[in-house]
Amino acid sequence: MNFESRVLPELRPVLAQFPGFQLEGKLEWSRSLLSSSPIEKSEHVRSTSRMIPGAAGEILVKIYEPAVRTIAKLPAMLWIHGGGYVMGHPDMDDALCERFVQAANCVVVSVDYRLAPEHPYPAAIDDCYSGLTWMADEADSLGIDLNRIAIAGASGGGGLTAALAIMARDKGGPALIFQMPLYPMLDNRNISASSHEITADNATWNRTNNLTAWKMYLGEYLDDSELSSHAVPSRVENLAGLPPTYTCIGQLDVFRDETIEYVTRLAQAGVDVEFHLYPGCFHSFEMIVPQAEVSQRASQSYVDAIARALNP
């Protein structure tokens, strides 16, 4: 069976119209595919933008919080947008971040990290760590409960989430009670069965794009056999001490097998983990076809997971 015939019928019409990313030679055009239209903002959520100190100059963060707040400190989550380390902007996740705020009664900080290839590793992870430490340092002004901080992201942002959890543990950084790396980009080796299986041009993320994106992100470190797990999370030797984890992935995702391996290793290291595998679903299916029943089920599941984690 070919790729399209395995996709759930409710997802096929949108997939048939997807032009496919072309990172090699058409990077700016590919980035334009992720540009977002302004959303109708919820009256229950207030959003603001701020420039904060980054690893190499100022970076933008977007802050989402309940429109009406009391003096009570709220739990908080750092959100990391997707885009294979080479595309994306916090604006594209405005609606999702508002949804997190309302479901979990929390503060969400979304970080505009630097993108490769203009800014290869370690730019993105350093900016994410700067966002996390800033959020913790500004806990009083943001009205954040330091005992209830989580991190989350999707795709490339999921890979950065996994890397950030490892970095925060290794550096003794802000304590995390939860991480949610959704269908994460974890392994630059591209040796798994799924990395060879998902090659169709109209797959929302295929082997060709993945090889190119890792090459752009790692730059001079591409062939470094001693690469840090802060760059490539799958390289981490010890997963003990990481926070409880939620993740999910479509069965037709190039990241399927590296995610399953990661989940297995987390469980073996004594980390509590919840994992969902969605048959017939491709990479980022719930964001690309949000009206589909399976998409609504998947997104509601991870929104609920954040709400539970931040309000134990």
Taking only the tens place, the pLDDT of each residue in 220-249 is 888 887 889 999 999 999 999 999 999 999
CA dihedral of residues 97, 34, 283, 153 (deg, nearest 10): -30
Predicted local distance difference test score (pLDDT) of residue 189: 94
Predicted local distance difference test score (pLDDT) of residue 153: 98
* Mean residue pLDDT across the chain: 96
Q: What is the mean pLDDT of residues 103-128?
A: 98
Residue 22 burial by CB count (10 A; 0-12/13-18/19+): exposed, middle or buried? middle
Predicted local distance difference test score (pLDDT) of residue 223: 81
Cβ-based neighbour number of residue 25 at 10 Å: 8
pLDDT tens across 140-198, in order?
Answer: 999 999 999 999 999 999 999 999 999 999 999 999 999 999 999 999 999 999 999 99
**Whether the predicted pLDDT of 276 surpasses 90:** yes
Predicted local distance difference test score (pLDDT) of residue 68: 94
Cβ-based neighbour number of residue 134 at 10 Å: 21
Predicted local distance difference test score (pLDDT) of residue 203: 92
Predicted local distance difference test score (pLDDT) of residue 102: 98
b/e per residue 209-248 (b: at least 16 CB within 10 A): bbebbbbbbbeebeeeeebbbbbbbbbbeebeebbbbbbb
Q: Where are the beta strands (DSSP E) in the chain?
A: 45-54, 57-66, 74-80, 107-111, 144-154, 178-182, 245-252, 273-282
Evaluate the omega torsion of the peptide bond into residue 120 and state whether it is cis, within 30 degrees of 0. no
Q: Among residues 245, 46, 61, which one has the least CA distance to residue 135?
A: 61
Predicted local distance difference test score (pLDDT) of residue 39: 77
List domains and CATH numbers for the chain: 3-310 (3.40.50.1820)
8 A C-beta contact, residue 95 and residue 303: no
**Whether the predicted pLDDT of 36 surpasses 90:** no
Looking at the DSSP assignment, which residues form a beta bridge with residue 248?
A: 276
Predicted local distance difference test score (pLDDT) of residue 251: 98
pTM above 0.95? yes
Catalytic residues: 155, 253, 283
Task: Please report where in the chains the tokens 């797990």 appear, as a residue.
Answer: 229
pLDDT tens across 1-23, in order?
Answer: 789 899 999 999 998 899 999 99
| Angle, CA 189 vertex, CA 284 and CA 211 arms, to 5° | 55
Structure tokens at 303: 């929104």
Can you say whether the dihedral through the CA atoms of 113, 151, 91, 232 is positive or negative? positive
